[in-house]
């Protein structure tokens, strides 16, 4: 007989009379044990016999009474029964059958069974309706008493019986994040009736439950776990138990505690108090549920609401049963016992009327405790005019789901609404009132703790809330050097609670984190990054998170269009700011790229009926090609030239005529008067007005436009310079031309005023000629500058302009594709790149295979293979296959944009030598002006004191001019020439042009130099420190030697390689990977055999079974045979060679006939692993292993079918170019040091191979910094070369940090120079380039200074006695020439070629040799005292040499199966020189 309980929603009840009517009417129906109706909750809880009634019949019974009934819960709950044993007295007046029927007539009694002797009745009853005592008194006239059941022989004790009938259930539980989650589940499920034991495993994400199926079902357990907020599924279906009726009765009787006691406790909750606690230490909603479920189970607690965001708990409790202190301790004791509980200071205990609904029945008691409580909100309502408005609001709002009651007041203009916070919220209610046409507003909450809903919040609601409260912050991360740093940060932070996602941009050194502010805050995120060993600071108000969009909007006609666009965009979720200008047709929009993308914004504007497009950005790098300046100076030059040619013509004509006159004067002895007459009769000397000759008038006319138009730019620049109290080149030019022009004009006006007979001498020819040469110089200089920035312009032009965005359906089916501007690509977009196309953004390949040319970015000449999962760089070119990529970095975040930014910053940063030049120019101009003034006055004084000197040296002097005028004219000419020839320009150009060309050439050669400082500093370097792993060596282990320990006829070489390679193919250990890679290469195979029963013992080795290698060997042997046949035809093979090859071929030839797959049992590992598995390692093998270990290698043994058959030596191998690079650096006069965290054995071995004599071994990353500092304190300039992962502090500390990064793993923060290719020869190239650049800068300074140092004295007339005199125009020509020559000299750097390895190898042929141990000094840790090898005496050396020679003769026989890769010279074993390997060098 099954008793069920169901909750029916009842509509239409108005008062308590309705309640009583329902209870009486329904209570009388057959099969109804109990009914409890609640007017407030508008529901009825009915306990019924499922054999007699169904939920549908109960609903009909309600309908018949005139009430609407709805099923609140479609699944009726089973009701737990209690059992009581009654002893029937022997002298009873009633028979046992009569007693049974009398008992069954009572409500609450479900079943009665009689024992065989008719003396005991087993009564099953519903404890919530009736209790044991009432059952005893149910039969009038019969005195029934409760008896303990007899334990008859042959039956078990009830407890052990219950144990035997238990079922184990295994559930998979997903969504657990911490131990608090496991405690929640264990606590919640463990309390359920019928659960005996529960164990939850966080690692396996599963729960094992032992339960009694007659009390609780597996479905119910799963349902309860899901109610706690986790996803549960059955791993194995539990088997149902078959029990007889009497077993059930007996089991029911073993229940722990009668439910009626719970009832009593619950019913005494009429006077409750509320306390608010502050709880610290909660991480997620699982902690919340854990506290709620544990505390709500306490008998004294009526309700509890925990808030993760507010870190608070509101507890309703019975003060008669508990105290605040006890509750506080109870919360702290909740597993995992890490919560800190305190009372807020302002808290005072307030007596609140309980909001608990009355209990309906004992079964839903727990459910009801967790049912939502109601809240009241008061909404201000404006616009009501009469009671009809009040009624319409009340009528509509009361119908809304979740609204319990509403009372609207016309006088107070507000409405008080009682509602269920889980079904609706104040905002919904307010908008519902507004929808009716009234103005509604919410009041500001007075006290936050009281507005907290006193209800349990469902986990789903919590998740929704969490999703709503996601914030975003940016963290500046320093010390990242490569992609592995990025992966490290992203991987570790994703594990933290409260962090939703993280994206790290390496080149920008920035992390974008989305997090839940209730759980974690930005400073804590920065701290987490710092704990990983990086520098991290939160970027305040980082506007870069906002996208900025500039649009051209067509079709706007008036201000209303503007308003329409602005208002629509501002309402759009994710748009932060919008401004539209009607006059320019432009819109400026700021948006959050997380929520909305540029394409969405454009679509919104298009939907309004306007056409819109992006404002075209200038991608041509025009700011670098100096086109505008070139155009400007070219125009200036042409204007000046047009006016200058006639002036020059006039001047030359006058000079020729003057020289003819002076000749006539000397040869024909003409008198002065005749001369004057002849002079004035010349055409150009003809006076138009008294004192104004044709010559002067024409010169004046031609000079004015040049002074105005040609010199316009100079005047503006000079004015700006003077305004800022500085003096530059332009000030000098303006001074020279203005003085000449003004002086000439004044002299002319004075002559006209005096109506002079003799025409005055003017300088109108100076300005045009000066401007011509200066503008020519500037024009050429900008043309040259444009050339120096070519490298950068090329980088910028790599950027693609358009992208093809595709939409994918299920299984990556292409649904649509569209071409968009590259600025419109959003993060996460799927972009299609066709063969020959450029990658528009950085991304990850999701589909397709192709080769990609990254040469312009990484300098790597060979195309790189790309397959799903690989990253691609914007600007690289896709070659043969079509690819689909998912965009990870767009816009300014792409690698290309960051490289461009780096190079730009480098070219604009000033080298220290440049700052010196700038300083010099500052003093230079005032000095020149001073020299010019001194020259003027000196010549005036000299002239008046001794006129003969001027007369003697002043060329073109004629007697028709007065002496005073001659002196002044000469003095002015000299001082103006001084101003003209002095040029600080060339000084200013000397460094930046060379730096620009140098960095550009570096970038083209795969060397990124960050600015002028490292470029200049590199040539001063005296010590180069190399990191070992990943810099001198490859950084990944490789097989260096394989030694076969069995003869070839037992186990052929290829067979062993195939077995060993297959065995290691399942291993994830780097050594295993190295072995597999080597075997595949040797066998020339992509796939190997099959590996089963694979077991790995960390620190020892592996064991497994290998099959299916025959096909592989057959294929290999076929290839060997073919090769042998080819070789026979080409070369006459020697007899012994043929003999040695033959047996192997014969053995293998039989293979295809007997093609059964053999199974080999394989062991690979160290000595200990072999001895554990019962294999003996022979002495000579042990010695060989020790020899390898002495050389810093790892020696691994391999056994097949219980026989030791191979010794494999594995080491991190040296890069092939390392030795040449070290040798070249030494030949350049640099000291080379090796610094590593590895042990001294390995360090010494590597150092000997590359020729380094000074080694610092076992150095911690922090000590590397100290070591660099130590070298610097000795007065040495240090360059540090590292691969960046652990070297970044030392790279930053060194004078020049050089980071080696394969591809674009650029060590942004730490290094000054980044070698894009993984090639050590680039270290040599970078230092060489620096030396060449600095040499070029010095040559430039020489050019610049020679002009000035030589030109100024000549112009000032110091060399007048030897006939050296300069005209002003000659001065300006010389000045222009100095600037142009400096720039041309810098451009010669473009011819720079990297030193080629072939040349360097030829040069270093004699010097390259492996070092012996005695030559290497090894320093352990940070100390200076080296553990240098003991110096060997001559005798020791001779003994060692002879021993080595003898050993080499007796070394193990070279059999066919010994892999000889190269033959070292035997005698190179002198003094254990471990540059070469003994048997087999790789």
Mean pLDDT of 117-132: 81
> How far, in Å, are 235, 412, 457, 462 from residue 225 at the CA level?
14, 48, 16, 16
| pLDDT the model gives residue 800 | 84
SS3 state of residue 821: strand
User: What are the backbone dihedrals phi and psi of residue 994, each rounded to the nearest 5 degrees, phi first?
Assistant: -65, -40
| pLDDT the model gives residue 333 | 84
Q: Do β-strands 1296-1300 and 1278-1282 pair in parallel, antiparallel, or remain unpaired?
A: parallel
1307 — pLDDT class (breaks 50, 70, 90):
very low
- Within 10 angstroms of residue 1264's Cβ, the number of other Cβ atoms is 27
1453 — pLDDT class (breaks 50, 70, 90):
very low
User: What are the backbone dihedrals phi and psi of residue 574, each rounded to the nearest 5 degrees, phi first?
Assistant: 105, -15
Percent helix, strand and coil across the chain, each to the nearest 5: 45, 20, 35
Using CA atoms, how far apart are residues 281 and 497, in angstroms rounded to an integer? Answer: 12
- Mean per-residue pLDDT over the chain, rounded: 76
For tokens 């360097």, what's the residue?
A: 1400
Sign for the CA dihedral angle at 618, 619, 621, 622 comes to negative
Mean pLDDT of 1138-1167: 58
pLDDT above 70 covers a percentage of the chain that reads 74
| pLDDT the model gives residue 770 | 73
Q: What is the DSSP letter of 1415?
A: G
> How far, in Å, are 163, 293, 382 from residue 296 at the CA level?
29, 5, 43
The angle subtended at Cα 975 by Cα 970 and Cα 977, nearest 5°, is 95
569 — pLDDT class (breaks 50, 70, 90):
very high
Q: Is the pLDDT of residue 1171 over 80?
A: yes
- Within 10 angstroms of residue 445's Cβ, the number of other Cβ atoms is 12
Strand partners for 1226? none
| pLDDT the model gives residue 674 | 64
Residue 360 vs residue 636, higher pLDDT:
636
SS3 state of residue 1301: coil
Q: Are 1300 and 1281 in contact (CB under 8 A)?
A: yes
Burial per residue of 604-638, b for 16 or more beta-carbon CB atoms within 10 angstroms, e otherwise: bbeeeebebebeeeeeebeebbbeebbebbbebbe
| pLDDT the model gives residue 1164 | 93
> How far, in Å, are 562, 596, 606, 611, 664 from residue 567 at the CA level?
9, 17, 14, 17, 92
Using CA atoms, how far apart are residues 783 and 777, in angstroms rounded to an integer? Answer: 10
pLDDT above 90 covers a percentage of the chain that reads 7
SS3 state of residue 759: coil
Using CA atoms, how far apart are residues 669 and 663, in angstroms rounded to an integer? Answer: 10
> How far, in Å, are 295, 569, 600, 1307 from residue 591 at the CA level?
46, 10, 11, 32
Mean pLDDT of 835-839: 90
401-422 pLDDT, tens digit each: 888 889 898 888 889 998 888 7
SS3 state of residue 519: coil
When mean pLDDT is compared across 198-207, 499-508, 1187-1196, the lowest value belongs to 499-508
Q: Is the pLDDT of residue 3 over 50?
A: yes
| pLDDT the model gives residue 1025 | 92
Q: Are 1395 and 1368 in contact (CB under 8 A)?
A: no
Burial per residue of 725-745, b for 16 or more beta-carbon CB atoms within 10 angstroms, e otherwise: eebbbbbbbbbbbbbbbebbb
Using CA atoms, how far apart are residues 613 and 748, in angstroms rounded to an integer? Answer: 63
Q: Are 1255 and 1418 in contact (CB under 8 A)?
A: yes
644-685 pLDDT, tens digit each: 888 878 877 776 776 676 666 666 665 656 656 665 566 667
Q: Is the pLDDT of residue 1479 over 70?
A: no
1080-1107 pLDDT, tens digit each: 888 888 788 888 888 888 778 899 999 8
Q: Is the pLDDT of residue 347 over 70?
A: no
Q: Which residues does 477 contact at the CB level (< 8 Å), separation at least 6?
A: 489, 504, 509, 510, 511, 529, 534, 535, 536
Residue 273 vs residue 962, higher pLDDT:
273
1355-1384 pLDDT, tens digit each: 888 777 776 777 766 776 676 677 778 878
Q: Is the pLDDT of residue 142 over 50?
A: yes
1376-1416 pLDDT, tens digit each: 677 778 878 888 888 888 888 888 887 777 666 666 666 77
SS3 state of residue 1424: coil
When mean pLDDT is compared across 202-206, 1226-1230, 1319-1323, the lowest value belongs to 202-206
| pLDDT the model gives residue 861 | 54
Q: Is the pLDDT of residue 16 over 50?
A: yes
Q: Where are the beta strands (DSSP E) in 1390-1451?
A: 1417-1420
1023 — pLDDT class (breaks 50, 70, 90):
very high
Q: Is the pLDDT of residue 831 over 90?
A: yes
Q: Do β-strands 687-689 and 82-87 pair in parallel, antiparallel, or remain unpaired?
A: unpaired
When mean pLDDT is compared across 373-377, 540-544, 546-550, 1008-1012, the lowest value belongs to 540-544
777 — pLDDT class (breaks 50, 70, 90):
low
Alpha-carbon dihedral of residues 811, 814, 816, 822, nearest 10 degrees?
A: 100
Alpha-carbon dihedral of residues 1301, 1302, 1305, 1307, nearest 10 degrees?
A: 0
**The whole model's pTM is what?**
0.45
Alpha-carbon dihedral of residues 1052, 1055, 1056, 1060, nearest 10 degrees?
A: 180
Mean pLDDT of 447-459: 39
Q: Is the pLDDT of residue 459 over 70?
A: no
When mean pLDDT is compared across 49-58, 502-511, 1425-1434, the lowest value belongs to 1425-1434
Q: Could you tell me where the DSSP H helices lie in 1043-1192?
A: 1053-1064, 1070-1083, 1110-1130, 1135-1149, 1167-1172, 1179-1190
> How far, in Å, are 442, 697, 1074, 1158 from residue 1065 at the CA level?
68, 97, 10, 18
Q: Is the pLDDT of residue 947 over 60?
A: yes
Using CA atoms, how far apart are residues 363 and 214, in angstroms rounded to an integer? Answer: 16
620-637 pLDDT, tens digit each: 555 556 777 788 888 888
| pLDDT the model gives residue 165 | 60
Question: How many CA atoms are closer than 13 Å to the CA of 875, on its beta-carbon side?
Answer: 24
Q: Which residues are catalytic?
A: 1027
Using CA atoms, how far apart are residues 845 and 926, in angstroms rounded to an integer? Answer: 63
Using CA atoms, how far apart are residues 1015 and 1002, in angstroms rounded to an integer? Answer: 10
Structure tokens at 1274: 């000795």
Structure tokens at 321: 């049963």
222-269 pLDDT, tens digit each: 888 888 888 898 876 665 444 444 444 444 554 444 444 434 444 443
454 — pLDDT class (breaks 50, 70, 90):
very low
- Displacement of CA 231 from its chain's centroid (Å): 32
> How far, in Å, are 290, 1042, 1046, 1114 from residue 1056 at the CA level?
59, 11, 10, 14
């Amino acid at each position: 007989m099954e008793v069920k309980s169901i909750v029916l929603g009842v509509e239409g009840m108005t008062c308590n009379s309705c309640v009583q009517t329902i209870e009486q009417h329904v209570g009388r129906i057959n099969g109804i044990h109990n009914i409890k109706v609640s007017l407030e909750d508008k529901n009825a809880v009915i306990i019924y016999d499922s054999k007699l009634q169904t939920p549908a019949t109960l609903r009909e019974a309600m309908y018949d009474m005139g009430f609407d009934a709805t099923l609140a819960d479609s699944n009726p709950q089973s009701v737990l029964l209690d059992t009581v044993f009654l002893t029937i007295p022997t002298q009873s007046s009633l028979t046992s059958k009569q007693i049974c029927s009398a008992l069954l007539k009572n409500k609450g009694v479900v079943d009665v069974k009689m024992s065989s002797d008719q003396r005991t009745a087993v009564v099953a009853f519903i404890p919530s309706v009736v209790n044991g005592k009432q059952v005893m008194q149910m039969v009038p006239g019969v005195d029934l008493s409760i008896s303990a059941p007899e334990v008859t022989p042959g039956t078990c004790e009830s407890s052990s019986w219950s144990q035997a009938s238990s079922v184990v259930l295994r559930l998979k539980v997903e969504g657990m994040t911490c131990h608090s989650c496991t405690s929640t589940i264990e606590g919640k499920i463990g309390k359920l009736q019928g659960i005996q034991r529960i164990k939850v495993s966080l690692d396996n994400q599963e729960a094992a439950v032992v339960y009694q199926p007659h009390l609780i079902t597996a479905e119910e357990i799963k349902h309860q776990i899901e109610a706690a907020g986790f996803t549960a599924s059955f791993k194995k279906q539990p088997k149902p138990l078959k029990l007889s009726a009497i077993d059930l009765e007996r089991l029911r009787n073993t229940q722990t505690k009668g439910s009626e006691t719970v009832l009593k406790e619950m019913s005494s909750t009429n006077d409750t108090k509320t306390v608010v606690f502050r709880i610290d230490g909660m991480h997620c909603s699982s902690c919340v549920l854990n506290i709620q479920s544990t505390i709500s189970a306490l008998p004294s607690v009526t309700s509890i609401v925990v808030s993760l965001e507010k870190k608070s708990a509101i507890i309703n409790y019975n003060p008669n049963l508990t105290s605040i202190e006890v509750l506080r301790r109870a919360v702290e004791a909740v597993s995992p016992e890490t919560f800190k509980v305190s009372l807020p200071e302002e808290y005072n205990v307030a007596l609140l009327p309980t909001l608990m609904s009355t209990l309906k029945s004992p079964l839903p008691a727990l459910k009801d405790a967790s049912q939502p409580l109601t809240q009241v909100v008061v909404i201000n309502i404006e616009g009501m005019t009469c009671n009809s408005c009040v009624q319409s609001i009340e009528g509509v709002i009361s119908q809304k789901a979740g609204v319990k009651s509403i009372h609207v007041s016309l006088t107070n203009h507000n409405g008080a609404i009682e509602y269920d916070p889980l079904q609706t919220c104040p905002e919904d209610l307010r908008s519902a009132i507004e929808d009716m046409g009234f103005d509604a507003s919410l009041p500001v909450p007075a006290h936050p703790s009281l507005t907290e809903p006193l209800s349990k919040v469902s986990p789903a609601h919590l998740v929704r809330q969490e999703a709503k409260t996601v914030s975003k912050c940016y963290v500046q991360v320093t010390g990242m050097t490569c992609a592995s740093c990025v992966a490290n940060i992203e991987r570790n932070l994703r594990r933290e609670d409260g962090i939703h996602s993280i994206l790290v941009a390496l080149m920008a050194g920035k992390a974008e984190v989305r997090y839940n502010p209730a759980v974690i805050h930005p400073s804590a995120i920065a701290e987490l990054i710092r704990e990983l060993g990086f520098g991290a600071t939160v970027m305040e108000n980082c506007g870069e998170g906002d996208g900025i969009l500039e649009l051209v909007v067509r079709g706007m006609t008036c201000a209303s269009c503007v308003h329409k666009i602005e208002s629509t965009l501002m309402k759009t979720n994710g748009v932060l700011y919008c401004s539209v200008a009607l006059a320019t047709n432009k819109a400026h929009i700021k948006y959050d790229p997380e929520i909305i993308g540029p394409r969405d914004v454009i679509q919104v504007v298009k939907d309004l009926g306007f056409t819109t497009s992006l404002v075209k950005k200038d991608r041509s790098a025009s700011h670098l090609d100096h086109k505008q300046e070139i155009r400007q100076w070219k125009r200036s030059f042409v204007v000046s030239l047009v006016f200058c040619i006639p002036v020059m013509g006039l001047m030359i004509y006058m000079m020729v005529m003057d020289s003819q006159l002076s000749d006539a004067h000397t040869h024909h002895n003409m008198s002065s008067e005749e001369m004057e007459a002849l002079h004035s009769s010349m055409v150009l000397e003809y006076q138009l007005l008294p004192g104004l000759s044709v010559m002067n008038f024409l010169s004046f006319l031609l000079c004015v436009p040049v002074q105005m138009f040609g010199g316009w730019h100079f005047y503006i620049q000079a004015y700006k310079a003077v305004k800022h109290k500085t003096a530059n080149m332009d000030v000098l030019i303006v001074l020279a031309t203005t003085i000449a022009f003004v002086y000439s004009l004044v002299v002319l006006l004075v002559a006209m005023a005096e109506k002079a007979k003799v025409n005055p001498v003017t300088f109108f020819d100076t300005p045009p000629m000066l401007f011509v040469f200066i503008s020519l110089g500037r024009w050429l200089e900008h043309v040259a500058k444009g050339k120096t920035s070519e490298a950068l312009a090329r980088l910028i032009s790599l950027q693609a302009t358009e992208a093809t965005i595709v939409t994918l359906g299920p299984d990556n089916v292409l649904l649509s594709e569209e071409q968009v501007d590259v600025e419109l690509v959003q993060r996460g977009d799927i972009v299609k790149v066709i063969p020959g196309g450029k990658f528009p953004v950085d991304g990850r390949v999701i589909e397709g295979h192709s080769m990609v040319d990254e040469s312009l970015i990484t300098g790597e000449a060979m195309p790189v293979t790309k397959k799903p999962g690989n990253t691609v760089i914007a600007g690289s070119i896709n070659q043969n296959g079509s690819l689909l990529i998912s965009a990870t970095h767009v816009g300014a975040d792409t690698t290309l944009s960051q490289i461009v930014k780096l190079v730009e910053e480098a070219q604009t940063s000033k080298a220290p030598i440049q700052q010196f030049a700038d300083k010099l120019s500052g003093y230079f101009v005032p000095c020149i002006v001073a020299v010019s003034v001194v020259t003027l006055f000196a010549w005036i004084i000299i002239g008046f004191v001794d006129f003969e000197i001027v007369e003697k040296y002043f060329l073109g002097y004629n007697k028709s001019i007065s002496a005073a005028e001659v002196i002044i004219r000469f003095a002015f000419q000299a001082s103006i020439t001084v101003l003209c020839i002095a040029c600080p320009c060339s000084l200013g150009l000397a460094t930046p042009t060379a730096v620009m060309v140098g960095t550009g050439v570096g970038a083209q050669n795969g060397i990124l130099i960050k600015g002028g400082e490292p470029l200049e500093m590199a040539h001063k370097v005296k010590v180069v420190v190399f990191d070992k792993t990943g810099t001198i060596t490859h950084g990944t282990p490789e097989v260096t030697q394989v030694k076969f320990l069995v003869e070839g006829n037992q186990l052929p070489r290829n067979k062993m390689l195939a077995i060993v390679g297959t065995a290691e193919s399942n291993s994830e250990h780097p050594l295993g990977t190295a072995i597999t890679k080597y075997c595949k290469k040797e066998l020339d195979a992509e796939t190997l055999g099959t590996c089963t029963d694979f077991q790995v013992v960390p620190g020892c080795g592996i064991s497994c079974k290998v099959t299916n290698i025959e096909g592989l060997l057959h294929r290999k042997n076929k290839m060997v045979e073919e090769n042998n046949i080819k070789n026979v035809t080409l070369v006459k093979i020697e007899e012994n060679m043929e003999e040695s090859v033959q047996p192997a071929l014969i053995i293998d030839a039989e293979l295809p006939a007997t093609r059964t797959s053999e199974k080999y049992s394989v062991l690979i590992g160290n000595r200990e692993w072999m001895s554990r598995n019962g294999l003996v390692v022979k002495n000579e093998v042990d010695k060989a292993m020790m020899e390898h270990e002495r050389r810093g290698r790892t020696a691994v043994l391999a056994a097949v079918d219980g026989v030791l058959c191979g010794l494999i030596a594995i080491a991190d191998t040296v890069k092939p170019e390392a030795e040449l690079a070290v040798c070249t650096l030494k030949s350049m006069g640099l000291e080379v040091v090796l610094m590593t965290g590895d042990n001294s054995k390995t360090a010494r071995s590597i150092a000997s191979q590359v020729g380094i004599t000074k080694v610092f071994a076992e150095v911690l990353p922090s000590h590397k910094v100290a070591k660099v500092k130590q070298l610097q304190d000795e007065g040495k300039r240090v360059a540090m070369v590292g691969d960046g992962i652990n070297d970044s502090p030392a790279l930053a500390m060194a004078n020049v940090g050089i980071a080696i990064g394969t591809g674009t793993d650029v060590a942004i923060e730490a290094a000054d120079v980044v070698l894009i290719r993984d090639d050590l020869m680039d270290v040599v190239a970078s230092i060489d380039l620096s030396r060449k650049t600095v040499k070029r800068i010095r040559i430039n300074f020489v050019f610049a200074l020679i002009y000035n140092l030589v030109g100024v004295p000549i112009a000032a007339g110091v060399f007048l006695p030897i006939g050296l005199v300069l005209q002003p125009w000659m001065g300006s020509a010389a000045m222009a020439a100095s600037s142009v020559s400096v720039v041309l000299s810098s451009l010669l750097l473009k011819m720079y070629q990297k030193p080629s390895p072939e040349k360097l190898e030829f040069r270093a042929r004699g010097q390259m040799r492996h070092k012996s141990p005695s030559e290497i000094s090894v320093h352990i840790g940070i100390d200076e005292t080296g553990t240098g090898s003991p110096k060997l005496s001559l005798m020791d050396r001779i003994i060692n040499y002879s021993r080595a020679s003898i050993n080499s003769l007796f070394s193990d026989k070279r059999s066919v199966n010994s892999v000889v890769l190269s033959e070292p010279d035997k005698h190179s074993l002198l003094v254990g020189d471990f540059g070469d390997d003994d048997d087999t060098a790789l």
